[in-house]
Each structure stands twice: as structure tokens, then as C-alpha cells.
Amino acid sequence: MNPTIGWIRQLAESWGVPAVLVPLVPFLILLIALYAVIGLAAYGAKRKWARADKTIAFWLFISPWLIGFLIFTVGPMISSVYVSLTSWDLITPPTFVGFGNYTEAFQDPKVAQALKVTLLYAVISVPLQTVLAFLVALLMNVDLPGIRLFRTIWYLPSLVSGVAQMVLFLWVFNPQYGLANDLLAKVGIQGPGWFNDASWALPTVILMSLWTVGSAMVIYLAGLKDVPLNLYEAAALDGASVTRVFWHITLPQLSPIILFNILTGIIGALQIFTQGFIADGGPKNSLLFFVYYLYENAFQNFRMGYASALAWMLFVIILALTAVTARASSFAVYYETEQGGGGRRRRSSRKAR
């Protein structure tokens, strides 16, 4: 424990603070100190600039989120950079090893397997989820009696937690008495081993991921409702077919939303964990996802330094793939409000029109 924090806790105990509240005292003192600094800065700004009221109000209102972000997000991230350069078992003091953890990770065959499984899952599941969610949104974008009920039914699986989903599908895809193999047997097909088969475990998880396309479907549906009706009316007057209307109006108008869903899908797919955890990595490490291997090193093998190095490797991979996807999308994404941007984006907008 930090000596300063220990001294504050001892002081709080001497003041008669209940034992349950003692761990909160250093945090409260830190908050008071931060707000004191903000208050002094605001006072000085107000005396120097007569019209600084709105700026002061902005920083005061955003300060709860900003302080929480700095303490609970940025702080641990910076700390993990140092931890990734050490060998630490959470019990003994960390030992500085430099880039030894990263060197080991590049030579670790399990890291290669985890990257292979995770990237394969992302490459297959994200396009399938994107297309299925878009098609369902097109089907739900009609004014029929009871359509709201069907939209709700499609969205409800997205509210089920990952553990509950995995437990449910372990029963559905049970090779002996599961629903999937029972239905296949009725049509004369012998079902596979699903999660118990190394060659079928990952495809089963990909099939399972299609059950929760409802959240993306809702976003697509909101985008479809926002497409200007005058564009469809003009196309109808010109005699455009349904296919041409879809390719030249609906798809360009929804391209920013498609990009958003693809980016969030990639980030989410690369961080998949629950399925690998419940399946314990799957047979022959067929479900050894990267985050699960990171967790295994951190909280089962107590190699926090190595796990931190893996976390930063994953961060760089996600950042790189997101940047490449966003950069590549500039040739295909149409932004209706963009009129004075770069030449490449303007050409893509005219092409989309």
C-alpha cells in the first residue's frame, strides 16, 4: 500500500470513522483536493477574464466525468504500461524486465493461436452480423399491424447477458440431446459435435453471435427512418427500379451507419471473452480467444506483467484495424452535410450520388 494512503487510513481510524468507510477516505480527500484546484483555477480565470463564466461552468459540469475518467481509466492504463515492463505475480514486488514480456509474447505459440482464433472470428462474424442486421432492418421498416412487436422480438436477445447466452446455446448445441441435433435428426442428418468438436467449436460461436443482431438492427432502422422521403419521391418520378433506389439512395444514405456498426463490431469481436471462458478455451484451444488468454495469464497464472503486455498488443491491433477501416471507408461513405471537405471525400460523395 502507498505510505500516504496508509497514513490517511490510520488517521481516519483514529478519528473514529467506521471501518467500512475507511477505504473511501483517501478517495474523498483526493476529490476535495481536485475540486479545490478547479475552484482556485476558476476563481483566477474569473478575475482575469470577465466573460469566463461559461467556460468555468463547462469545466465544473464536466469535472465528475473527467475526474472519474482520469482516475479509473487513464490512470490504470498508464500504470499498465509500467506493469507490462515488469514481472509481477501480484504478491511479491514487481521486477523490471524491460521488453521481455513482449519478446516472449511474439514467441509464444498460444499467442499465435489466440490471434488466429480471434481474427478468424472477427473476419467471419462481423460481415455476417452486418448483413443480417441490415436485411432484418429492411424487413422491419414497413408499416404493418404488429410490426412493433416483431421489432421488439428481434431486439430482445441483445439484452441477454453473455454468460446466459452461452449457457443457453450449450444446451441448444448439445451433441446428444440438444435442440439443434434433434431437429437435424428429424430430416435425416446426423448433427456434429458443435462445442465438443474442435473443427465445429468456432463456427458454432459464430452462429451464436447472429442471435444478437437486434442492437445493430435498431440502429439501421433509425437510419432508414431518417432517409429523406423526397429522394424516394424523385426516384419514383424518374421511374427508378427498386434495385436502383436501393443502390443509389438507401445504401449511400446509410453508409455512415454501416461504417459505425462495422467499427463497433470489429472492436467487440476482437474483445470476445465469455464464450472462450465458459468453454475453457474449447477442445484443442479452438476457442482460445485473445482476451481469454490474457485473463488466464493474469488471474490464473498470476503473470500480471505478461497479461498487461498482451493487453497493449491487443490495443495496438484494435487501433490499427479501426484506423485502416476508417481510412478505407473514405472512398465509400457518403456524408450529406459535407460540402467543403477534402477532395477525396468530395469525389466519393459525388460518386455515391
Query: What confidence tens digit (pLDDT) does each residue in 166-187 have?
Result: 999 999 999 988 999 999 999 9
Alpha-carbon distances of 10 from 14, 18, 132, 146, 166, rounded to whole Å: 6, 12, 59, 64, 46
For residue 13, count other CB atoms closer than 10 A to its CB: 13
pLDDT of residue 264: 94
Q: How far apart are CA 216 and CA 17, in angstroms?
A: 49
Question: Is 265:216 a contact under the CB 8 Å cutoff?
Answer: yes
What are 118-147's pLDDT values in tens digits?
999 999 999 999 999 999 999 999 888 889
Q: Coil, strand, or helix at residue 268? A: helix
Question: Is 307:294 a contact under the CB 8 Å cutoff?
Answer: yes
Reported pTM: 0.82
Q: How far apart are CA 348 and CA 332, in angstroms?
A: 6
Alpha helix stretches (DSSP H) within 53-209: 53-69, 75-83, 100-107, 109-140, 147-155, 162-172, 179-186, 198-209
